[in-house]
Structure 1
Amino acid sequence: MRARRLPARRRARARFRTAARVVRAGHSAAQDPPPGVQLGPASRHGSESAAAEGGPAPAERRARLAGSCRDGVMRTSSGPRGTTERPPKRDVDMSQETPSRFRQLFLGNLREVKGRLLFAGLCTLGATAAELLKPWPLKIILDHVILDKPVPRTLRALHGLLAEGKVPLLLEAAAGIVVIALAGGLFSYFQIFITSSIGYKMVYALRRELFTHLQTLSLAFHNRARSGDLLTKIAGDTNTLKDVFADSILKFSSYVLTVVGMLAIMAAIDWKIGLIALATLPFLGYSLLHLYRKTKLSVKTQKKQEGKVASRMSEVLQAVPLVQAFARERYEAEQFDAVTEQTVRESIRVARLEAAATRSSEIITALGTAAAVLFGAFQVLKGRMLPGELVLVVGYLTNMYKPIRQLAKLSTDFSKAMAAAERVSEVLDIEPEITDRPDAVPATGLKGEIEFRDVSFDYGDGKDVLRNVSFSVSPGQRLALVGVSGAGKSTIVSLILRLYEPQRGAILIDGRDIRQYKRASLRRHIGIVLQQSLLFGATIRENIAYGKPKATPEQIEAAARAANAEEFIRELEHGYDTVIGERGATLSGGQRQRIAIARALIRDAPVLILDEPMTGLDGESEAKVREALDRLMAGKTCIVITHDLQSVADADQVLVLDGGGIVDRGTHAELAARSGRYRQLYEAVT
């Protein structure tokens, strides 16, 4: 009795431990909140759920829980108005907490094509039936035409043909060979066509989902990730999956059906021969499974190394001018050799495992075939089996072991596919750090009033890049951010664009926390010109219209004129339809900046961010860019990051940043007149 009660006790203890973990995990949220705590939407939702399940009433829950918004923000009254506190966020890997996004996408696509899959399955059955019928005409000719053996009751349809003579039966058997081949070919054609189209479409959907998902992940993720490895996942790994979806799954199902059908027919002819053929399968299965596991691990390592190789190649190719200028070609070649050495080693290991899988399956199947043929021959000699039946068995054994040997190759293909799927899942299962709240509203008609309230931020290492930064900019004003490199100027811009989110404090535009706006709509109200303008390898027209995809040709040309870019554009061979090199490599620095200004002009956003727009320009280009910038900034709220203190004379407000904080503020004239950090910087450059 005690032995029967023990599992129940264990289950009870397990339930208790689980409950204890839940209580501990929720303790910080379940304790009494400090006065003034405001519950976020997630807390209200949780309260309603608890009440619906018989838990405490919503009011009671609100009294007990320190509410948090969906993104983890805690609002307290202990700090300045609008202050928010929360732990640093990173893109979170949810693969251990939620069903794989890759699996969800895969199953969702399968459900969409279930009708076509059913038809492909029927075609597979037809092709398998044709494969099983292939040796039967030969058996009939050998047993009942050449050897004149009596026709069994299972082939009663042949009695009428035999009554007419052997020639009609011979002709019918020959015609049967052709008909079976035609039917099998037709079924196989539709089978391959349908499954291939499904496979290609599924992989395209996966590749698109992966590409789209990567664009939603934060800059923190992209700063950590290697671009070459990501490209390998988007192109190489999804291509590996394409081969499986479009080909291998089809072959696997066809091979399995063929093997099962042939075993069944051989068992019907002589159960002992069927047993001999069946006895080889456990040995094959063990061999293939063992090699599959080893291959999968090697393929995963191989893919990881290939990603490193791609990253190294991408890095060097982007820095070719630097490599050539410093004559480091030999060094980079040696570095490339070092990175690729392990990749080659793993590739050879994978090839060796593939060869081992194929050869081991051939040896096992050869032993099985020899045993079955030997036994069948003795049965024929004893008169217990017809010669045609032995031919049938030999044909089935040959055709059965052929797909089994192919399964050995498929096992390595599946190993590669599983490794590729895991690599893709690693990215798809990362939840974006910055997302829109459920109650976020579109940003419409913004005037451009910007306010920072005690904003602090770090990049996850605990070192504040910004610390308690507060300032405000009225609509139409120009704000200049100055300071040494690393003072936090670019971080302020990234926070306004919601490329990152602060750990503490709040950023408001037009009096509303920017987290209450939908990100895409907020960013459409912000124009930006960077120090190194990012251009695509497309036409000039497309690059200018990138800020406003539906812009008319007239609007594009007007923006180019305002940016002082039309003159050099007209001199190009194809004008606005000239395709520039990757990252605008065929244009000079000043020309790239003017295209970027035209792109910002056509957007006509109320907020404009300029990040060192004059850096690296010659005198003539700087004059043209400065004139274009004056047109661009007219009537807009402008935030200018610059080391050129002479260019901030027109700013309504200058903030001097140092060590993550604002150490001085005022107009250019006020700051230059009094002692302080700004005056030191100004005197150093003048």
Structure 2
Amino acid sequence: MKTYLRMLQYVKPYLARIIIALCVMVITAGLTAASFYVIKPVIDKILANPDKAEALRYIRLLPIAVILIYALKGVFLYIQGYLINWIGNKIIWDMRNSLYRHITNLSMRFFNNQKMGVLISRITNDVTLMQGAVANVLGNLIGSVLNIIGLVSLLFYLNWFLALMAIIVFPIAVLPIIQFGKKMKAAARGTQEKMGDITAVLNESFNGIRIVKAFGMEEYERRRFNSDLQRFFDYTMRGVRASSLSSPTMETIGAIGIAAIIFVAGSAVINGTLTTGTFFAFIAAITGLYPQVKKLNDMNNVIQQALSAGERVFEILDTKPEINDLPGAKEYPEFKNSITFTDVKFAYNPGENVLKGINLEIKKGQVFAVVGPSGSGKSTTADLLARFYDPHEGEIKIDGIDIRHIKQEALRKLIGIVTQETILFNDTIKANIAYGDGEINETKVLDAAKAANAHDFIVKQPEAYETMIGDRGVRLSGGQRQRLAIARAILKNPPILILDEATSSLDSESEILVQEAINNLMKNRTTFVIAHRLSTVRNADKIVVIDGGVIKEEGKHEELLAKNGIYTKLYNMQFKLHE
């Protein structure tokens, strides 16, 4: 119930339209009751009326009344359907926006622990199921309740004793609704979880299709996908069994009630205590009532699925970001002097420190390189500077200000990042270069592309700067993608640059072009280089060697070689590999 009430909070902005929709539903329910009631005068005043003059009078009026009732009912049903679906779709729009906004605000650690396919499934499949509950409760559920109220009122108006007999069956009908609802909710949760797994498998296999084919793993991926499909099918069939049992159960209960009414009411007609018109109107109303009760059961099944989806969605919405702007955090538009790490310690997992007391200083305008063996903590230092994570101990300061006291948006405006793994979007070349810039300035885009050695290959594309590059830039070569990423950083024009070596996976020609682009990017900036190949940091102003989360050596290239330590060892290993 708590989950459902929380879902209905999204209804508040649309209360005015909901009130209009409720008024329309009340009118529709009244017209539904009138459509059943009209059977009574048709039989009593026309078919069974011994007064022929009165029968002729009614035969002229009642057909017009029937047409008016059903025409008005049709108009109000259209208005009701339109309003309910408009409100339902707007609410789901709001839910999706809220969920996406929240997810994109969560910290990197959250994404490290999640399957991307599962997150996609939350926003698409789970929110769609929630839409069913909101739309159904606003439309079918409330409409059915109002119709039930209207029809029950009509039954009491026609014959209170028979009406009491009819509603005695209602409590019996509620029991299967509750039981089948529980089974539907359990099955729905399993189905949604498996759909998340299926989406994750699809996401991984499609994104990694080159590796899948290279290793001949198509059949393995098919088996993995089929296994998840089997489990999805099993959960789906559990829900189908519960849903399929609920309808015949409800119909059987309804049939028992209707049979009892026919027996009692038919006896009354034979004995002359009940008119034929009242009998037929009552039977018509009671047969119209039980489908409305059955609809409540159907709506309950949908609502149980939605509640299961809602719990999964709110589970994410209740996840708090680890990285937040502290109270009083301020803008900081300009980097002036230096960046310092003071006794910085950090662990991805409790008790497993990746950094164990890092102390370093980067002066404005310096090229500062961090080197070390794989897993030593090089990339972690850069992630902490960009505040993708916060250190567990120690401080990172820019111009003497703890970066936790600078707004995240302001901090990241100071920093440009070019990574070894180039991230591009399925958009035009121009839009990718201008990513993060509020307005696309054609001249700036052109200048950035030229500085990144990208202009020449761009103008050779089918639509030049308007060419779509595909998912993750798949239509471009590795060197071309890297140059677009550098152009993007040049256009941003940040005073601080984090450079996760961008040339390590390129061919020689592309490497030369990319290295020239990087040199252009590094001009007049403070550059934090995460070095994988030591040949690229020979000219760095300062090099720090990290091993096991601790700074072991620091100095310039020649100084570190002279120490004959870890740096020398790494350098010699790489030199031999390139012989």
State the TM bucket, normalised to the shorter chain: over 0.9
Q: Does the 8 Å CA contact 1:195/1:246 hold for their aligned counterparts? A: yes
Counterpart of 1:115 in structure 2 is 16
Matched, 1:246 2:139: no
1: CA distance, partners of 2:474 / 2:552: 39
Normalised by the length of structure 2, the TM-score is 0.97
CA–CA separation in structure 1 for the residues paired with 2:72 and 2:336: 72
Alignment of 1:83-94 (within 5 A): none
How far apart are residue 187 of structure 1 and its match? 1.4
1:22 match:
none
AA aligned to 2:274 is: M
Verify the 8 A CA contact 1:547 1:602 in the aligned structure 2.
no
C-alpha distance in structure 2 between counterparts of 1:391 and 1:404, whole Å: 20
Give the deviation of 1:269 after TM superposition. 2.5
Q: Which residue of 1 aligns with 2:27?
A: 126
The question of 1:354 aligning with 2:354 is answered no
Note the residue ranges of structure 2 that are not aligned, 5 or more in a row: none
Which range is displaced more, 488-497 or 139-148? 139-148
Match of 1:414 among 296, 299, 303: 303
Q: Work out whether 1:575 is the aligned partner of 2:476.
A: no
Moved more, 199-208 or 667-676: 667-676
Out of 553, 556, 560, the position equivalent to 1:667 is 556
Q: Distance in 2 between matches of 1:329 and 1:436?
A: 46
Cα distance in 1 for partners of 2:7, 2:293 equals: 31
Q: Which amino acid aligns with 1:342?
A: R
Between the two proteins, the alignment pairs up a number of residues equal to: 574
Identity %: 32
SS of 1:471 mapped into structure 2: strand
Q: Which residues of 2 match residues 591-610 of structure 1 at below 5 A?
A: 591-610=480-499
Aligned match for 1:135, one of 3, 18, 36: 36
CA deviation after TM superposition for structure 1 residue 166, in Å: 2.8
SS at the partner of 1:431? Answer: coil
Contact 1:255–1:407 under 8 Å retained in 2 = yes
Q: Which of 274, 278, 281 is 2:170 aligned to?
A: 281
Contact 1:544 1:595 in 2 (8 A): yes
Alignment partner of 1:485: what SS? Answer: coil
Contact 2:8–2:134 (Cα < 8 Å) also in 1: no
Question: In structure 2, what is the equivalent of residue 404 of structure 1?
Answer: 293
SS in structure 1 at match of 2:435: helix
Q: CA deviation at 1:272?
A: 2.2
Task: Name the aligned partner's letter for residue 160 of structure 2.
Answer: W
Aligned ranges 1:202-601 → 2 under 5 Å:
202-447=91-336, 449-601=338-490
CA shift in 2, pair 1:435/1:149, >3 Å: farther
1:633 to 515, 522, 529: 522
What whole-Å deviation, never above 9, does each CA across 1:165-200 have from its counterpart, x for those lacking one? 432321211111011111111111111111111110
**Correspondence 1:19-34 to 2 at 5 A:** none
The CA distance in 2 between the partners of 1:139 and 1:105, in whole Å, is: 43
**Following TM superposition, by how much is the alpha carbon of 1:448 offset from its aligned partner in structure 2, in angstroms?**
6.0
Structure 2 equivalent of residue 615 of structure 1: 504
For residues 307 and 194 of structure 1, the distance between their equivalents in structure 2, rounded to whole angstroms, comes to 32
User: Structure 2 counterpart of 1:246, which letter?
Assistant: A
Q: 2:308 is aligned with what amino acid?
A: A
Kept in 2: contact 1:196–1:245 (CA 8 A): no
Amino acid at match of 2:229: T
Contact 1:448 1:606 in 2 (8 A): no
List runs of 5+ in structure 1 lacking aligned partners: 1-98, 151-161
What's the CA shift for 1:248? 4.7
2:445 maps to a residue whose letter is I
CA contact (8 A) 1:466 1:660 kept: yes
Q: SS of the residue aligned with 2:183?
A: helix
Distance in 2, matches of 1:105 and 1:130, equals: 31
Counterpart residue identity of residue 105, structure 2: T
Cα separation, 2, equivalents of 1:148 and 1:293: 52
Tell me, in whole angstroms, the C-alpha distance in 2 between the residues paired with 1:166 and 1:632: 95
Moved over 3 A (4+): 102-106
Aligned-partner Cα distance in 2 for 1:585–1:283: 61
Kept after mapping to 2: 8 A contact 1:467/1:660: yes
8 Å Cα contact 2:49-2:55 kept in structure 1: no
C-alpha contact 1:559 1:602 (8 A) present in aligned 2: yes
Partners of 1:385 and 1:629 in 2: CA distance = 95
Q: What SS does the corresponding residue of 1:464 show, helix, strand or coil?
A: strand
**Which letter maps to 2:413?**
R
> Aligned pair in 2 of structure 1 residues 439, 243: CA closer, same or farther (>3 Å)?
same
| Aligned-residue CA RMSD (Å) | 1.5
Cα pair distance change 1:237/1:635, threshold 3 Å: same
- In structure 2, which of residues 49, 54, 78 is the aligned counterpart of residue 148 of structure 1? 49
Matched residue SS, 1:438: coil
Aligned-pair CA distance for 1:106: 4.2
For residues 536 and 42 of structure 2, the distance between their equivalents in structure 1, rounded to whole angstroms, comes to: 98
Q: Which amino acid aligns with 1:500?
A: Y
Q: Give 3-state SS (helix, strand or coil) of 1:225's partner.
A: coil
CA distance in 2, matches of 1:256, 1:549: 50
Q: SS of the counterpart of 2:539? A: coil
